[in-house]
């Protein structure tokens, strides 16, 4: 058996590689163009079961060659991060649309079970929380760049479900809600690694907006376990699932907890969204998943609380700084 993980050098992808190696006897193909993924995320692996292939999911032939060698596909390669999407809209759209179509095309040729990663962004700015998978979506205008990402991810879902309906591809879609943990970079606007880095350095924690917006944060270890179990549950095929821990936290409270847990004396400051992302940027007030369907399908849902997530991120970041200083 061979598992293919597109985006396998990324934050979530590398943790999924770890999970597959620990829980199965599969060989693993990591397919990544290293645009946002890092070779350092794989440095801890000393396993002849892992093969790394550098390639772009927008290259149909490279994708087809990788899928042909796999017995299961986890498609996690994507343009990630609000900042990245806003600054590079064309590249983000091409990666998220063409890349997913290439993976699904190749998987359909061989009937290979496939997981497609989606995002809570598809719910847009709907005020009806918690979000259930069949809820209506509220998306802003095409003139606002961030909604291109939400639209592309929704199109990925439509594609996946169409492949299941028309050619019986065993595919499942997971909508990720703020997956967090060790190895995540703050480079593209991810809030927890950014706050932790700022707190450990004694720099002000920069909260965008007034900080009252709430988010639900999910430990990456819970997320990859859910991804694996969904993909290997036949009744989940042809369906969409929220993958998240449902307890919401305001960004103000998140900043305070990071300061407390790091023992930092850093201040907390607020910066208007428009100063960072431009005048047309829109930020939803609340994001919270309903995980009833996930729990009913695989028997559990992510459960690591925010303090555990923060402690793990802080510990990993502190250990990294020790290694660099040494």
Specify whether the CB–CB gap between 73 and 13 falls below 8 A. Answer: no
Q: What's the CA gap between 192 and 11, in Å, rounded? A: 13
Q: What's the CA gap between 189 and 208, in Å, rounded? A: 10
Strand 27-32 relative to strand 214-216: parallel, antiparallel, unpaired?
Answer: unpaired
Q: What's the CA gap between 217 and 222, in Å, rounded? A: 11
Strand 179-180 relative to strand 72-75: parallel, antiparallel, unpaired?
Answer: unpaired
> Known catalytic residue: 19?
no
Q: Which two tokens mark 63?
A: 């994708």
Question: Given 19, 74, 123, 149, which residue is catalytic?
Answer: 149
The set of residues, in sequence order, having a beta carbon less than 8 Å from that of 275 and lying 6+ positions away, is none
DSSP 8-class letter at 240: E
The set of residues, in sequence order, having a beta carbon less than 8 Å from that of 37 and lying 6+ positions away, is 7, 8, 9, 10, 13, 14
C-alpha 106: how far from chain center: 22
DSSP 8-class letter at 204: P
Tell the residue number behind the tokens 């790394």, with chain if given.
52
Q: Which helix (H) or strand (E) holds 22?
A: helix 11-23
Burial track 12-43 (b if 16+ CB lie within 10 A, e otherwise): bbbbbbbbbbeeeebbbbbbbbebbbbeebbe
Q: What's the CA gap between 158 and 154, in Å, rounded? A: 6
C-alpha 100: how far from chain center: 15
Q: What's the CA gap between 306 and 313, in Å, rounded? A: 11
Residue numbers annotated as active site: 149
């Amino acid at each position: 058996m061979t598992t293919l993980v597109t985006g396998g050098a990324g934050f979530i992808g590398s943790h999924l590689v770890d999970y597959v190696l620990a829980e199965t006897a599969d060989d693993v193909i990591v397919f990544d163009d290293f645009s946002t993924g890092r070779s350092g995320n794989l440095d801890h692996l000393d396993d002849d079961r892992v093969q790394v292939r550098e390639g772009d999911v927008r290259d149909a032939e490279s994708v087809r060659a990788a899928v042909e060698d796999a017995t299961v596909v986890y498609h996690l390669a994507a343009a990630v991060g609000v900042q990245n999407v806003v600054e590079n809209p064309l590249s983000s759209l091409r990666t998220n649309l063409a890349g997913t179509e290439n993976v699904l095309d190749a998987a359909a040729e061989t009937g290979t079970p496939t997981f497609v990663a989606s995002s809570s962004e598809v719910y847009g700015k709907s005020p009806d929380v918690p979000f259930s998978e069949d809820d209506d979506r509220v998306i802003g205008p095409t003139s606002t760049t961030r909604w291109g990402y939400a639209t592309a991810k929704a199109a990925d879902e439509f594609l996946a479900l169409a492949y299941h309906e028309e050619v019986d591809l065993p595919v499942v879609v997971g909508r990720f809600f703020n997956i967090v943990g060790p190895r995540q970079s703050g480079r593209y606007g991810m809030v927890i690694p950014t706050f932790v880095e700022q707190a450990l350095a004694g720099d002000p924690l920069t909260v965008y907006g007034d900080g009252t917006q709430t988010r639900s944060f999910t430990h990456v270890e819970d997320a990859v376990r859910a991804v694996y179990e969904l993909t290997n549950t036949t009744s989940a095929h042809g369906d969409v699932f929220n993958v998240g821990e449902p307890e919401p936290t305001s960004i103000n409270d998140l900043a305070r907890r990071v300061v407390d847990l790091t023992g930092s004396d850093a201040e907390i400051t607020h910066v208007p969204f428009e100063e960072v992302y431009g005048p047309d940027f829109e930020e939803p007030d609340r994001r919270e998943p309903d995980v009833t369907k996930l729990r009913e399908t695989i028997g559990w849902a992510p459960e690591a609380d925010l303090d555990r997530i923060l402690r793990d991120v802080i510990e990993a970041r502190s250990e990294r700084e020790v290694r660099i200083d040494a």
